[in-house]
């Protein structure tokens, strides 16, 4: 088959597959507890209503998403099946039913951190009778970027600045404070700087502290909104099963977290989400997959909590967990021996309160992970304390700048004012979303098990089918 040409099945074949898909969907909907929320304004869209296909946004194992513009000038993310599936009618039938189920799930949800569905094909599942792969489609909100793209951008900006000119102004190290630690008590200031030698802190140093703290608070804000969305999903008796940075986006209007791609999501047999159920194993992406799912054991919504913890670790540290590991190594160390990412030796430090939350959430025992509701409350409290701390710091900095300006206007006496002593050159400033940050110049990189154990198989390229980056879709 020439995949670049417009291909369609003969009518009888298309009608047969359409009827099969319709039967599967009807059975799933008949067993579903979810009901469409009629306040969700779902548009019925004809294929001719799409004026232009602007560009491809991404693709998965079964589907493709493109940015489109309709004749009324609105822009959407249009999701439909890939043409290559037409070579495998059984897979096409399965993927079509899952796409219809995703539409059903999204139309029943109403949460600020879950992507909104805005429309679907006017003829519904019957559209497959046309014989084209993209005859049935969903219209979704467009996103600004995914969490994966944002993390990658932050990493690239760090690397770029570290390689930039060495004459930029020195800054103090990245400072991630615990809630009960003041700047004067922090590890970096106590061990790297002697405050008796540097009696006054410059406005630049104070600004660096504040901006570093602001970024850390932003990361916790993202973690909190993901947790709140998962809590809502679980409350509806649904398990997500494929949480990863590529399935988490940000609203172009509000920057709010938006969880999307519910193609692998399933309704649980009971609203009692604490009970493990026998479901398809090896569903999702292995890097973020809970051990019980990877080992084909019964599981429940606690598997999403594990995935949330691994995603949050990557967000806080900007480091890929289990980087370069093969499937066999992951199974042996993570699933069987309970190895987890090291939270104590990272380039971007993790505060103690976040360490406790992560280490509980990725426990090898699903019943010990708690619930997303409990985690969300903990995160909200932590975020509130940090925002209050930031407000106090900003107020103090404003007062310091005011007094410095006042001092500059007072005539100096014969005594010489001691010059401001600049701390030893540490590193260049880095910019994240036009916000300068501070990082350690030569951090004591944590010994990650993926490097220290010297397994030859660890260096397997991540695009290999044996890599933890490869996805399972059954």
Task: Write out pLDDT tens, residues 97-107.
Answer: 999 999 999 99
Once rounded to an integer, what is the mean pLDDT over residues 308-326? 96
- Order of all β-strands in the sheet with 248-251: 143-146, 248-251, 257-259
| pLDDT of residue 415 exceeding 50 | no
pLDDT band at 7 (very low <50, low <70, confident <90, very high): confident
Which pairs count as long-range contacts for 428-432, CB under 8 Å and 24+ apart, including other chains? 428/161, 428/162, 428/164, 428/165, 428/166, 428/168, 428/171, 429/161, 429/168, 429/169, 429/171, 429/208, 430/157, 430/158, 430/161, 430/162, 431/157, 431/161, 432/154, 432/157, 432/215
For all residues of the chain together, what is the average pLDDT?
A: 79
| Same-fold call for 11-141 versus 147-157+206-385 | no
pLDDT digits 0-9 by tens, 339-370: 999 999 898 899 999 999 999 999 999 999 99
Once rounded to an integer, what is the mean pLDDT over residues 279-298? 91
Q: Considering only 151-165, 309-323, 420-434, which range has the smallest mean pLDDT?
A: 420-434
Residue 79 counted as an annotated binding residue? yes
pLDDT band at 470 (very low <50, low <70, confident <90, very high): low
User: What pLDDT does residue 400 have?
Assistant: 77
Once rounded to an integer, what is the mean pLDDT over residues 185-206? 39
User: What pLDDT does residue 473 have?
Assistant: 47
Q: CA of 405: how far to CAs of 104, 203, 204, 353, in Å?
A: 61, 12, 15, 38
The residue that leads in pLDDT, 277 or 180, is 277
Q: What is the homologous superfamily of the domain 11-141 according to CATH?
A: Phosphorylase Kinase; domain 1 (3.30.200.20)
The residue that leads in pLDDT, 2 or 209, is 209
Q: CATH second-level architecture of 147-157+206-385? A: Orthogonal Bundle (1.10)
User: What pLDDT does residue 325 have?
Assistant: 95
The residue that leads in pLDDT, 201 or 457, is 201
| pLDDT of residue 170 exceeding 50 | no
Domain range list for the chain: 11-141, 147-157+206-385
pTM for the predicted model, two decimal places = 0.77
């Amino acid at each position: 088959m020439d995949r670049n040409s417009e291909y369609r099945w003969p009518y009888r074949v298309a009608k047969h597959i359409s009827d099969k898909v319709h039967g599967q969907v009807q059975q799933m909907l008949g067993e579903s507890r979810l009901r469409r929320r009629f306040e969700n304004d779902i548009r019925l869209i004809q294929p001719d209503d799409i004026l232009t296909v602007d560009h491809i946004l991404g693709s998965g194992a079964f589907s493709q998403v493109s940015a489109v513009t309709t004749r009324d000038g609105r822009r959407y993310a249009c999701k439909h099946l890939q043409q290559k599936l037409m070579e495998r009618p059984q897979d096409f039938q399965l993927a079509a039913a899952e796409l219809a189920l995703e539409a059903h799930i999204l139309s029943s949800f109403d949460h600020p951190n879950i992507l909104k569905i805005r429309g679907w094909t006017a003829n519904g599942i019957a559209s497959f009778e046309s014989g084209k792969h993209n005859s049935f489609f969903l219209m979704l909100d467009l996103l600004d970027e995914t969490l994966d793209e944002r993390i990658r951008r932050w990493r690239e900006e760090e690397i770029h600045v570290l390689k930039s000119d060495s004459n930029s102004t020195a800054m103090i190290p990245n400072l991630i404070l615990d809630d009960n630690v003041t700047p004067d008590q922090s590890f970096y200031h106590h061990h790297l700087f002697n405050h008796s030698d540097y009696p006054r802190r410059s406005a630049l140093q104070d600004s660096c502290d504040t901006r570093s703290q602001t970024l850390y608070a932003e990361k916790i804000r993202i973690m909190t909104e993901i947790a709140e969305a998962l809590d809502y999903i679980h409350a509806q008796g649904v398990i997500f099963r494929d949480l990863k940075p590529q399935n988490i986006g940000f609203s172009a209007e509000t920057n709010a977290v938006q969880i999307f791609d519910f193609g692998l999501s399933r309704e649980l047999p009971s609203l009692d989400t604490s009970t493990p159920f026998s479901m398809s194993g090896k569903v999702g992406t292995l890097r973020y997959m809970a051990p019980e799912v990877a080992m084909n054991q019964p599981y429940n919504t606690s598997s999403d909590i594990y995935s949330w913890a691994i995603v949050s670790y990557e967000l806080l540290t900007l480091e890929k967990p289990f980087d370069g590991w093969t499937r066999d190594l992951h199974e042996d160390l993570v699933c069987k021996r309970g190895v987890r990412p090291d939270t104590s030796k990272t380039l971007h430090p993790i505060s103690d309160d976040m360490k406790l939350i992560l280490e509980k959430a990725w426990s090898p025992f699903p019943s010990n992970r708690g619930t997303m509701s409990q985690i969300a409350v903990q995160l909200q409290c932590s975020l509130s304390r940090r925002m209050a701390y930031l407000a106090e710091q900003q107020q103090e900095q404003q007062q310091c700048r005011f007094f410095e300006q006042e001092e500059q206007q007072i005539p100096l006496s014969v005594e010489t004012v001691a010059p401001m002593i600049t701390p030893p050159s540490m590193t260049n400033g880095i910019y994240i979303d036009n916000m300068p940050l501070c990082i350690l110049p030569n951090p004591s990189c944590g010994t990650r098990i993926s490097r220290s154990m010297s397994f030859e198989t660890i260096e397997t390229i991540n695009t290999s089918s044996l890599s933890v980056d490869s996805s399972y879709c059954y």
